[in-house]
């Protein structure tokens, strides 16, 4: 089976014919600029030492400093981090941010560590990568399995090593140490804006009502709330163990309003009455993918009955499945657009940190709205003109920006 990275590269190949210029520079995106593999020794609470494997893939920096999250997951591999690094480079370019793309990962199930072990692991990762990251080099953020507390420890470690406060070194921090009040909900909010704009442009507003959401982590739990507030009927939600389904609509406010440490926590899934596989096959208007990559693939795509898919998970749909959905007129709002609200939120956190100031939550939401609406109408127009789908349009425009910057920078040694 092709790896996640190999399948992600396929999207580049699919977008290539729509590139207007600099196509000869495309190979620059076929491999990361730098891949760092780390082994982090951590003294565990039982006194024994454990070594954790991790990576930072700095994929491309033609447009600005590397930027992208750090994932803590028991199945993370170098291949996965590489694919996510590429998607991050495309995402930042697609939305028009002055950033390159990177991704980090540690192979660990964070739920199996206690708080002290988690802190040591987070600090250890920064100690090893210190010379290669920082506000103008590479700015990490949370991703699957990491959170604001982990970003606070990492920022603190970075500042200790620097000898001065460097809040702009990481984004997604708690508000008290320079984080943005909007960052936690930003990815979910951005996804909601993408949906709202696409419904408007395709004249589907009011026609899409029932929704199933796979994944109730930070991204899923927020989008569920935004959808509920806007009057959509959320009929199914799930986590990795299974989901809840009620065709009359779930009581979202009760299930997803658990507050932990001032932030919205995960939705509380009661006794599951549906599997993840059957959630993806539900006869709903909209399917939201907010879990892991590759969830809709060759083996299950034929069962999908939704009319639209909002791909909040990076790489949620494989290229072959994407082609099948396109043929069957299922409208996909692709990952690099649907999930870009998070990094737009990060960008305003980072800018505020440089200026030693802060933006209000409302301000950041308005800025996310502006970024996403503008990008979407550009992508939609491009897609219409070229008769390609929204993913190919977003990928082509993103690639063209990266290649144009590569050419202008003149640093290809070619």
Binding mask 129-148 for ligand GLU (x = CB under 6 A): ------------x-x-----
- Report the length, in residues, of the chain: 414
Of 194, 201, 66, 218, which Cα lies nearest the Cα of 142?
218
Asked whether the beta carbons of 168 and 375 are under 8 A apart, the reply is no
Binding mask 64-103 for ligand GLU (x = CB under 6 A): ---xxx---------------------x------------
Nearer to ligand GLU, 282 or 368 (CB): 368
Residue 311 binding ligand GLU, by CB under 6 A: no
Q: How far apart (Å, rounded) are the C-alpha atoms in residues 40 and 43? A: 10
Nearer to ligand GLU, 235 or 334 (CB): 334
Q: How far is the CB of 176 from ligand GLU (least distance, A)?
A: 19
The owner of tokens 């920006």 is 401
Position with the least CB separation from ligand GLU: 69
Residue 210 binding ligand GLU, by CB under 6 A: no
Q: How far is the CB of 339 from ligand GLU (least distance, A)?
A: 5
Q: How far is the CB of 241 from ligand GLU (least distance, A)?
A: 23
Nearer to ligand GLU, 321 or 343 (CB): 343
Please tell me the count of residues contacting ligand GLU according to CB under 6 A.
12
Nearer to ligand GLU, 18 or 346 (CB): 346
C-beta atoms surrounding 303 within 10 Å:
12
Q: How far is the CB of 170 from ligand GLU (least distance, A)?
A: 9
Residue 339 binding ligand GLU, by CB under 6 A: yes
Q: How far is the CB of 183 from ligand GLU (least distance, A)?
A: 8
Q: How far apart (Å, rounded) are the C-alpha atoms in residues 179 and 244? A: 33
C-beta atoms surrounding 271 within 10 Å:
6
Nearer to ligand GLU, 184 or 346 (CB): 346
Cα distances (angstroms) measured from residue 134 to each of 37, 92, 163, 165, 170: 18, 18, 13, 12, 8
Q: How far apart (Å, rounded) are the C-alpha atoms in residues 341 and 372? A: 8
Asked whether the beta carbons of 245 and 282 are under 8 A apart, the reply is yes
Annotated catalytic residue 43: no
| Adjacency order of strands within the sheet including 66-73 | 34-43, 49-60, 101-107, 66-73, 138-142
Residue 346 binding ligand GLU, by CB under 6 A: yes
Residue 171 binding ligand GLU, by CB under 6 A: yes
Residue 167 binding ligand GLU, by CB under 6 A: no
Q: How many degrees, rounded to 5, is the angle at CA 244 between CA 239 and CA 249?
A: 125
Q: How far apart (Å, rounded) are the C-alpha atoms in residues 144 and 215? A: 11
Catalytic residue among 103, 233, 361, 367, which?
103
* Residues with active-site annotation: 103
| Chain residues in the site for ligand GLU (CB under 6 A) | 67-69, 91, 141, 143, 171, 314, 339, 342-343, 346
């Amino acid at each position: 089976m092709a790896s996640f990275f190999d399948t992600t590269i396929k999207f580049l190949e699919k977008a290539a014919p729509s590139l207007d210029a600099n196509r000869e520079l495309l190979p620059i995106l076929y491999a990361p600029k730098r891949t760092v593999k780390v082994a982090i020794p951590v003294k565990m609470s039982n006194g024994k030492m454990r070594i954790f494997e991790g990576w930072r893939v700095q994929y491309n920096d033609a447009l600005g400093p590397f930027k992208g999250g750090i994932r803590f997951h028991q199945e993370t591999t170098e291949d996965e981090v590489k694919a996510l690094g590429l998607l991050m480079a495309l995402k930042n370019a697609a939305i028009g941010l002055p950033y390159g793309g990177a991704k980090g990962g540690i192979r660990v199930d964070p739920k199996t560590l206690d708080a002290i072990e988690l802190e040591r692991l987070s600090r250890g990762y920064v100690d090893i990568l210190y010379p290669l990251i920082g506000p103008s080099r590479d700015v990490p953020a949370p991703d699957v399995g990491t959170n604001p507390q982990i970003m606070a420890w990492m920022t603190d470690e970075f500042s200790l090593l620097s000898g001065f406060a460097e809040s702009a070194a990481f984004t997604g921090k708690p508000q008290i140490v320079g984080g943005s009040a909007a960052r936690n909900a930003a990815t979910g909010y951005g996804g909601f804006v993408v949906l709202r704009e696409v419904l408007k442009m395709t004249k589907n507003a009011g026609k899409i009502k029932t929704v199933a959401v796979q994944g109730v982590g930070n991204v899923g739990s927020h989008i569920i709330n935004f959808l509920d507030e806007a009057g959509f009927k959320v009929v199914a939600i799930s986590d990795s163990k299974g989901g809840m389904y009620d065709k009359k609509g779930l009581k979202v406010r009760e299930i997803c309003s658990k507050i932990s440490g001032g932030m919205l926590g995960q939705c509380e899934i009661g006794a599951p009455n549906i599997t993840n596989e059957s959630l993806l096959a539900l006869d709903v208007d909209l399917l939201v993918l907010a879990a892991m990559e590759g969830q809709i693939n060759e083996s299950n795509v034929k069962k999908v009955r939704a009319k639209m898919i909002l791909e909040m998970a990076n790489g949620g749909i494989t290229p072959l499945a994407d082609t099948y959905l396109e043929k069957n007129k299922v409208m996909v709002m692709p990952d690099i657009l649907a999930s870009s609200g998070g990094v737009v939120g990060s960008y305003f956190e980072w800018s505020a940190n440089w200026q030693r100031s802060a933006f209000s939550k409302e301000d950041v939401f308005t800025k996310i709205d502006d970024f996403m609406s503008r990008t979407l109408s550009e992508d939609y127009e491009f897609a219409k003109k070229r008769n390609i789908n929204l993913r190919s349009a977003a990928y082509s425009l993103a690639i063209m920006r990266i290649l144009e910057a590569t050419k202008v920078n003149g640093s290809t040694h070619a």
